[in-house]
Structure 1
């Protein structure tokens, strides 16, 4: 764990020995941020580039009546402008949301050796794995985050080796989120004059994945990134934030340098548009760059990512071009898009911009 001079080899301990940043905090409890986590100045948030709270709020939409035309109107408007919105009245009981957050903390409260059993590349489960940062073998600066990824359990055996501390809660949340996602995506497709048939459903939500994101207490949160600047590469993300601690920021305008904090709203789910939906809609819907900062106390967040099956071909929908509009993106197979995104550190929206057609 230590080098010849007695100093902790942070990368070796966190990444190669599979302890994660949670292990670093538990064992070493650093009093200052290790150099491996100090972000360059241009990647740091400051008072000068954060808009004042309330000056550019994220809409909160009551979806308790999905048949209300106002619900569809507000969802499509938010997807076209801010790219982020929060929903309440979604039908998931508050106690289930609290139990899911507790399950996430419960997993990261397991003994280090138990967590290591699920480390990516050698996990005891084919549908669940854990790692740290984003792409720790490609990043020059690490992100102050560990996370577990779960794939939707198609069969009972799919989750057989998931730990009991979170298995039941994850399965139940997947079941709850799936119909909510389908209703929202159906609304967004209708606005594009497109029907959500079986083929369309495979493209929009053929895969469902869930993260437990864990951000341990950070000695210098102002110097670190929990998650770097990026946009989500799927169609739709439905996020359960920590119920107390904030840390999520979204870019206020597509090309500006201002950011807005997206605070947790009690019992709400935060929804954001992904790259695939922006491409399919030919820019009618917005996939917004966002980032996460750590705090001096630990924080969890739990996103569910709805996305295409790997062999889906992603390109602007025919319906989005019916008025003679030219396509703004090249055709790409989704697996190639994934490979490009995950093969490098977080870098804003460069993956999507790489397939934009320049006129």
Structure 2
């Protein structure tokens, strides 16, 4: 498919596909190939889909939601004991107003962020690699086990999905998994408090995700996706489904065949929760258009970047405490840091007057 054809299909989509990935997890080669083809169509034509048949049991989902409600019900002072700015590997409590893809429009939600667990004596942690390290688990009885169990289950589904995306690109199923060993894949527990004046308030600002893709467990409607015309398309809430969207790294690997579609959360009046797992590749992975895709397209459409540095640079530009550390000279942006929102559909529309 030519790039112009892909752009036209992105411009025209008005709905989000639903894909049953059970055959990808448990089927034979033919069944897996058929699901991979569906994944490829969704990644090329929308950049988003709803995923069912993922095998993450309802009890695991409910366990995660229950613990999130317990955590956010604590006092502000207790939650701030795990404030994300107290740590040097970007994990912990994110208070309202801390995060904003656009600094002029802070996101009015709170979150607790954790990621792939690494011990303090891991060589990359000892070397001070950003975003890697142990999780600062809250001092809340019964919190860690159900949250960690959900993370492990979603992470394994993510590995299976990456193999499906590889097949959709005409690659061997395991080709991209060699870059997934101890990635800074982050799980966020997000809480949107009740806000009766939310008509014109922004939940999460328009953005693309920085990693390979995202697995989102929502608890209510509110997510919108930008099509190729710049129109915002609603993502309906589907009980038990996970929402998947393509991120920056997979867009680059695919040389633009797959698109990191811009999305946002809008008009959130009711109290709600949301749980994205941002599936990343290893920090030191150099991501560039794969040779097979460059040969197919005749040219490389993206320059190479280090996956972890890209993620870290975007994070620095998004979180207040990191912007303050940057201003004080305590940290610096990685070389070749890109502006937030410079990739994906949102980046294309920012370039268009």
TM-score in same-fold range (> 0.5): yes
**Cα distance change on mapping 1:293 and 1:164 into 2, 3 Å:** farther
The answer to whether the 8 Å contact 2:16/2:46 transfers is: yes
d(CA) in 2 for partners of 1:197 and 1:304? 21
Q: Give the match for residue 61 of structure 1.
A: 19
SS of residue paired to 2:187: strand
SS, match of residue 344 in structure 1: helix
Paired residue for 2:164?
187
Task: Give the greater-gyration-radius structure (CA).
Answer: 1
Find the partner of 1:142 among 106, 109, 129. 106
In structure 2, relative to structure 1, the CA distance for the partners of 1:340 and 1:349 (3 Å cut) is: same
Alpha-carbon distance, 1:61 to partner: 1.3
TM-score, length-normalised on structure 2? 0.75
Partner of 1:175: 152
Pair 1:73 & 2:65 matched: no
Relative to structure 1, the CA distance from residue 342 to residue 155 in structure 2 (aligned partners, 3 Å threshold; closer, same or farther) is closer
Among 42, 67, 76, the residue aligned to 1:112: 76
Q: 1:301, 1:65 → 2: CA distance?
A: 27
- 2:57 pairs with 76, 93, 97, which one? 93
**What's 1:229 paired with?**
206
- Cα distance in 1 for partners of 2:318, 2:74 equals 28
What TM-score do the two structures reach when normalised by structure 1? Answer: 0.74
Deviation at 1:322, TM superposition (A): 2.3
Equivalent residue, structure 1, for 2:124: none
Alignment partner of 1:250: what SS?
strand
In the TM superposition, residue 137 of structure 1 has moved relative to its aligned partner by 11
Structure 1 stretch displaced more, 64-73 or 147-156: 147-156
- Is residue 322 of structure 2 the alignment partner of residue 349 of structure 1? no
Give, in whole Å, the separation in 2 of the partners of 1:159 and 1:290: 28
CA-CA distance at 1:270 after TM superposition: 0.8
Name stretches of at least 5 consecutive residues in structure 1 with no aligned partner. Answer: 1-54, 355-359
Q: CA RMSD in A?
A: 2.9
**Contact 2:179 2:281 survives alignment (8 Å):** yes
1:129 corresponds in structure 2 to 92
Shift of 1:203: 5.4
C-alpha distance in structure 2 between counterparts of 1:178 and 1:127, whole Å:
19
Whole-Å separation in 2 of the counterparts to 1:184 and 1:319? 20
Give 4+ residue runs of structure 1 displaced > 6 Å after superposition: none
- Aligned residue number for residue 12 of structure 1: none
Q: 1:213 aligns with which of 184, 190, 194?
A: 190
How big is each residue's C-alpha offset from its partner over 1:117-158, in whole Å with a ceiling of 9 and x where there is no partner?
A: 1101215x9674111345469822321111111012246994
Distance 1:339 1:65, change over 3 A: closer
Query: Aligned pair in 2 of structure 1 residues 134, 192: CA closer, same or farther (>3 Å)?
Result: farther
| Alignment partner of 1:321 is 2:294 | yes
Q: Aligned residue for 1:36?
A: none
1:333 partnered with 2:281: no
Residue in structure 1 matched with residue 233 of structure 2 by the alignment: 260
Distance 2:90 2:152 in 1: 16
Change in CA separation of 1:160 and 1:326 when aligned onto 2, cut-off 3 Å? closer
Contact 1:127 1:153 in 2 (8 A): no
2:245 aligns with one of 272, 286, 299:
272
8 Å contact 1:83–1:288 — kept in the other structure? yes
Once the two structures are TM-superposed, the CA of residue 207 in structure 1 deviates from its matched residue by 3.0
